[in-house]
Structures are given as C-alpha cells and as structure tokens.
Amino acid sequence: MNAHLLPTGSAYFITKETDAPERHTLSVLVDNEPGLLARVVGLFSARGFNIESLTVSETEHDKGLSRITVVVVATPKVLVQIKLQLERLVPVHKVHDLTAEGASLERELALIKVGGSGEHRAETLRLADAFRANIVDATTESFVFEVTGKPSKIDSFISLMVPLGLIEVVRTGVAAISRGPEGM
C-alpha cells in the first residue's frame, strides 16, 4: 500500500496528497437562521480559500431550510476537511460535493449591459440571438441582455461582448442540483 494512503489517526488520510487544486461545487442544506452564512463562509476564509461563487436561498419555507451552493477551487485534501467541518456545524443537515458525486446540472443567470450604437449594433444582436440571450432593456445607445446557462457559456458571451462595447456585468452565482430521482 502507498505510504501516503496509510491511516495516520486522522480521517483525512483517505484523500490522496496532491498539490493540484480542483473546482468543486458543494451543496449544503441548512436551517435558515441568522449568522449561519457567516459561519459557513468563515470555514473557507479561515483557510485562505477564495469562493468563486456563492448562492443562498430558502428552498423549503415550511421547514425553514435553505440551500447554500458554493463553488470553490481547492486541493482534494482541503475539500475533505471543509466538507467534514461543514457537516459538524449544528444547523447543517447535509453536505454534497456535486462534482465528486457525478452528474449534476449547473446554471447561472447574468445581466450584461452592452453599448449598442453604430456599426456594432447589428453584430451585438446577432451574437445575442446565437446565445439565446433575452433583451430585457434597450435604448438607442445600449442593450441589457439576460443570459442563462452554464458558467462557461456566460463567460464566452461576455468575452464576445468586450470588443463590441461591454459596459457592465452582474451575475447571480451558480445554482446546482444533482441529476436523478433522489433529492438532498
């Protein structure tokens, strides 16, 4: 057996040592109570890890439950530590690493304001149509598009809008759910 996979008295020996950080989407089902989000985010910030995306919303009003979706880039060893520490927080019911568990769906919403005058106006509209972006506001000088999809789709649309007059971007963060008949 490899020496780096032998038990060390810690539950963290299970994960292979590696320096390569990976992008993971965590879904955390919690009681909807004041201060909990700060505690959850504190687990990440205490270790100096940047949260790429954070989405929180009440999902079951009658039960007082919220879902926190966190996208983070970290090493596998650190991800195991974060998941175990999240599970120990009292108002946390479940923690799922949607990336590690397999098939899941990720979507994000963005509002993107682009200058829309002159020769670039028609090209802006053509690209928006190709990305199925909805026009939610239009003036003679600008457009605001609503784009929904995978984060990579939104990134691509934004990069195409830069030379056409990108003005401003607002993103919701990733919402994610596992595929299949089972819930959290």
Q: How confident is the model at residue 16 (pLDDT cuts 50, 70, 90)?
A: low
* Best CA proximity match to 124, nearest among 152, 150, 163: 163
Domain 3-101 shares a fold with domain 105-176: yes
| Six-digit token string for 98 | 């949607």
Task: For 50-70, write each residue's pLDDT tens digit.
Answer: 899 999 999 988 889 999 999
Task: For 123-156, write each residue's pLDDT tens digit.
Answer: 999 999 999 999 999 999 999 999 999 999 999 9
The percent of residues above 70 in pLDDT, for the chain, comes to 90
* Best CA proximity match to 175, nearest among 142, 149, 152, 140: 149
pTM of the complete model: 0.78
Residue corresponding to tokens 């007082």: 64
* 161 vs 118: which has the higher pLDDT: 161
Q: Is the dihedral of CA 137, 159, 115, 167 positive or negative?
A: positive
Residue 152, SS3?
A: helix
* 3 vs 79: which has the higher pLDDT: 79
CATH class of 3-101: alpha beta
Beta strand 22-31 with 104-115: parallel, antiparallel or unpaired? unpaired
Using the predicted structure, report yes or no on whether residue 11 has a pLDDT greater than 70: no
Using the predicted structure, report yes or no on whether residue 182 has a pLDDT greater than 80: yes
How far is CA 156 from each of CA 98, 128, 182, rounded to the nearest angstrom?
A: 23, 11, 32
Topology given in CATH for the domain delimited by 105-176: Alpha-Beta Plaits (3.30.70)
Q: Where are the domains of the chain?
A: 3-101, 105-176
